[in-house]
Amino acid sequence: MITVHHLENSRSQRVLWLLEELGTPYTVRRYARHPVTLLAPPELKAVHPLGKSPVIDDDGTVVAESGAIVEYLVDTHGGGRLKPPPGTPEARRYTYWLHFAEGSLMPPLLVALIFARVRGAKVPFFVKPIVKGIAAQVHKAYIDPNVNKLLAFLESELQQREWFAGDEFTAADVQMSYPLEAAAAGRAGFTAQSHPRLHAWLMRCQARPAYQRALAAGGPYSVIP
């Protein structure tokens, strides 16, 4: 039996979704974030040395990192499902998006979150204009141009196909869901009006019965990169 060590409001939500898509039995062990720092609790270090989520334990096989978990579950429990046939253009796109989600898309979104917290931090009133000015410059010079370029690229990709790897839903769409949910949560200017194809893709993902079952299994969910 697979145990998902599930940190609230985290990347592990998409692991639950993938397991529901595969119909693979699992149990959930829930962990709460620290109310102030929002960090994972120290109990997770007993599961994996880095003390982060997601982590799964498949009858003694412990796997960490979202992309590695997705590949492991599809290869071990997928029975050929949710992954294109080897050697096809869809397979190459599948691998690309599995890595793109955390390698290219998530870092600037995380920086955006950090600077949002910097702008909202409690500092002496005479320092606040300086802090806000620095944050605004980082957004203008780095965050906004990079995020806008990435979202425009994704929007153009979905002009050509319904799902990221091709015409069929795959685990690559599961992997891409978290950063795009984060972008849609108001941190990147991603709306139905600005990126209609991306928004339609996200609505298709969230309407899937397996996605809804994963929400019930994982508990309240609000994206926090």
Query: Tens of pLDDT along 72-87?
Result: 999 999 999 999 999 9
Domains of the chain: 2-83+212-218 (3.40.30.10), 89-208 (1.20.1050.10)
Tokens 């697979």 belong to 2
| Angle at which helices 209-218 and 12-22 cross, to 10° | 130
In this structure, what token pair is assigned to residue 6? 């599930």
C-alpha torsion sign, points 83, 88, 92, 97: negative
Q: Which residues contact 194 (CB under 8 A, 6 or more apart)?
A: 151
pLDDT digits (tens, 9 = 90+) for 187-216: 567 889 999 999 999 999 999 999 999 999
State the pLDDT confidence band at 114, using cuts at 50, 70 and 90: confident
Instruction: Please give the Cα distance from 188 to 156 (Å, whole number).
Output: 17
Residue 103 carries which DSSP code?
I
pTM of the model: 0.90
Nearest to 3, CA basis, from 15, 14, 11: 15
For residue range 20-31, list pLDDT tens digits in order.
999 999 999 999
Read off the pLDDT band of 225 (50, 70, 90).
very low
